[in-house]
Amino acid sequence: MANKFAVILAAGLGTRMKSKFYKVLHPVCGKPMVEHIIHNITKLQVSKTITVVGHGAEQVKAQLKDRSEFVIQEKQLGTAHAVMQAKALLKGKNGTTFVICGDTPLISTETLEALYEDHLQKQAKATILTAYAENPTGYGRVIRNAAGHVEKIVEHKDASEEEKKVKEINTGMYCFDNLALFEALEEVSNENSQGEYYLTDVIEILKAKNDTVTAFQTDNFSETIGINDRIALAQAEKIMRAKINERHMANGVTIIDPDNTYIDTDVEIGMDTIIYPGSFLKGKTIIGDDCHIGPHSELENAVVGSETNIRQSVVHDSSIGSRVNIGPYAHIRPQSTIHDEVKIGNFVELKKVDFGQGSKASHLSYIGDAEVGSNVNLGCGSITVNYDGKHKAQTKIEDDVFVGCNSNLVAPVTIKKNSYIAAGSTITEDVPEKALSIARARQINKEDYVKKLNLDK
């Protein structure tokens, strides 16, 4: 099989983003743009992926790790200069090189494959991936001659009024014959409005040598948008979101209102689960079958079993079993494990808790740094007092415990199996098995008290 290489251009600062973060690290549907590209390129089975880094090099490297090789572009002198940095790794190698801008995260493997096939079939030295754009402002324009052959690419800023009318744009993605590419790059100059070495000039240089240069037009402009500013970022997010939602719907997930459902790329959802509007499913969230999520729930890195309902609630970095009911208005904070058939009701906050099967905290509780057994009932307003101002301490509540309303469990403390805590207690010592613990002042009724004060009505 012929050699395939990929060069991803990711050294730019992304000035138009007006951001302290490097452009290619801005997330689209939860994943940095450059990650999307790497992910799709991997499926092309290229033998070498080289990412050109400059601004934010360390962060980009840390993000991509061993999924790419890196070359540094110290000064961002243009896209041709950027590709040139890969010379030491690619020069003299036979094969086809994909060049892809790091700010086009929507491009699919299928389109890149079609580009490649066309490139091979036409035995071209360069094939430009082009698209038809209703509003081509900002993009390089593909200029064709009378016979329809590609002549050159003109950058928006360098284009004449006539050229600006052209709606076929350069997507910034190409297939090159690797040897021809590095030869032509040597000849690129920076005589243009931006004083940059444009990769797009390679086209004219190859043409002048009578090399075959062609364009492959995709009918899917939306896949090729380049993200230069926050407006394009929002557009890309919207397009990708729609695709993700369609994929889940095709797999048997009901999404009541796809325009108002925000699912990150890597999320998995089981069949017959219903996602209600205003829900955000982020990171590596995995949801089983027959769940009801939302409206207005936010799950991040949450693993959820099946037949579980999570209404108007937030779950982060936690796992939740099957047939669990959460919310409305619950907050499950990181490192919590909620077992099957649990109920976590209104205004309940959990943090770093192992919450046993069939147990309930139905209303207004804070349970943190705790281990809760099975079939435990935590009454309304139960609180684990886990923090003394300096240290966190652990509360252990064993199976079948009943905690009365408005109780404080001052950690470290263990409430042993099958015991009862009277409502309003502040528990500071361990409670033995099967005991009833009452830790509150005894009630005194002062008869005729009002009369004594002469406040009688």
Task: Answer yes or no whether residue 171 interacts with ligand UD1 by CB under 6 A.
Answer: yes
Q: Please, which residue, 30 or 226, has the CB nearer to Ca ion? A: 226
Q: Which of 30, 56, 105, 172 touches ligand UD1 (CB under 6 A)?
A: 172
Min separation Cβ 127 and ligand UD1, Å:
15
**363 is known as an active-site residue:** yes
Binding of Ca ion by 228 (CB under 5 A): yes
Written as one letter, the residue type at 130 is: T
Pick from Ca ion, ligand UD1, none: which does 139 bind, CB < 5 to 8 A by kind? ligand UD1
| Catalytic hit among 26, 296, 363, 391 | 363
**Which residue in 7, 10, 203, 315 binds ligand UD1 (CB under 6 A)?**
10
Q: CB within 8 A of 447, min separation 6: which ones?
A: none
Cβ atoms within 10 Å of 339's Cβ, excluding its own = 20
Q: Are 238 and 247 in contact (CB under 8 A)?
A: no
102, 294, 327, 381: residue in contact with ligand UD1 (rule CB under 6 A): 102
The 3-class secondary structure across the chain, one letter per residue, is CCCEEEEEEECCCCHHHCCCCCHHHCEECCEEHHHHHHHHHHCCCCCEEEEEEECEHHHHHHHHHHHCEEEECCCCCCHHHHHHCCHHHHCCCCCEEEEEECCCCCCCHHHHHHHHHHHHHCCCCEEEEEEECCCCCCCCEEEECCCCCEEEEECHHHCCHHHHCCCEEEEEEEEEEHHHHHHHHCCCCCCCCCCCCCCCHHHHHHHHCCCCEEEEEECCHHHHCCCCCHHHHHHHHHHHHHHHHHHHHHCCCEECCHHHEEECCCCEECCCCEECCCEEEECCCEECCCCEECCCCEEECCEECCCCEECCCEEECCEECCCCEECCCCEECCCCEECCCCEEEEEEEEEEEEECCCCEEEEEEEEEEEEECCCCEECCCCEEECECCCCECCEEECCCCEECCCCEEECCEEECCCCEECCCCEECCCECCCCEECCCCCCCCCCCHHHHCCCCC
Q: Does residue number 166 form part of the binding site for ligand UD1 (CB under 6 A)?
A: no
Nearest residue to the partner ligand UD1, using Cβ: 140
Using CB under 5 A, pick the residue from 54, 136, 226, 356 that binds Ca ion: 226
* 170 touches ligand UD1 (CB under 6 A): yes
Q: Does 131 bind ligand UD1 (CB under 6 A)?
A: no
Q: Please, what is the angle between helix 109-121 and helix 33-42, to 10°? A: 50
- State which residue, 33 or 326, has the beta carbon closest to Ca ion: 33
Q: Which of 35, 155, 177, 264 binds ligand UD1 (CB under 6 A)?
A: 155
Residue 153 interacting entry, from Ca ion, ligand UD1, none, C-beta within 5 to 8 Å by type: ligand UD1
Q: Which stretch binds ligand UD1 (CB under 6 A): 97-105, 384-392, 418-426, 430-438?
A: 97-105
Residues 201-260 that bind ligand UD1 (CB under 6 A): 226, 228
Assess 140 for contact with ligand UD1 (CB under 6 A): yes
Cα 111 from Cα 243, distance rounded (Å): 15
Q: Which of 49, 51, 73, 386 binds ligand UD1 (CB under 6 A)?
A: 73
Q: Is residue 238 within 8 Å of residue 184, measured between CB atoms?
A: no
Token pair of 401, please? 């415990």
**Residue from the set 153, 269, 320, 378 that interacts with ligand UD1 by CB under 6 A:** 153
Say if residues 413 and 396 touch (Cβ distance below 8 Å): yes
222 binds, among Ca ion, ligand UD1, none (CB under 5 to 8 A by kind): none
128/315 with CB nearer ligand UD1: 128
Residue 200 binding: pick among Ca ion, ligand UD1, none (C-beta 5-8 Å cut-off by kind)? ligand UD1
Q: Which of 86-94, 166-174, 333-341, 394-402 is the region at the interface with ligand UD1 (rule: CB under 6 A)? A: 166-174
Decide if residue 312 touches ligand UD1 (CB under 6 A): no
**Residue 107 CB, nearest distance to ligand UD1 (Å)?**
10
Task: Enumerate residues 92-121 that contact Ca ion by CB under 5 A.
Answer: 103
Side chain identity at 118, as an amino acid letter?
D
How many Cβ atoms sit within 10 Å of the Cβ of residue 208? 10
Q: Which residue type, as a one-letter code, is found at position 369?
A: D
How many binding residues for ligand UD1 (CB under 6 A)? 31
- Candidate ranges 7-15, 215-223, 230-238, 352-360; the one touching ligand UD1 (CB under 6 A): 7-15
Binding test (CB under 6 A) with ligand UD1, winner from 126, 199, 367, 401: 199
Contact pattern from residue 43 through residue 72 relative to ligand UD1, giving x for each residue in contact according to CB under 6 A and a dash for the rest:
---------x--------------------
Instruction: Indicate the residue among 33 and 299 with the shorter CB distance to ligand UD1.
Output: 33
- Residues with a known catalytic role: 363
Binding site for ligand UD1 (CB under 6 A): 9-12, 23-24, 52, 73, 76-79, 81-82, 101-104, 139-140, 153, 155, 169-172, 198-200, 226, 228
Binding site for Ca ion (CB under 5 A): 103, 226, 228
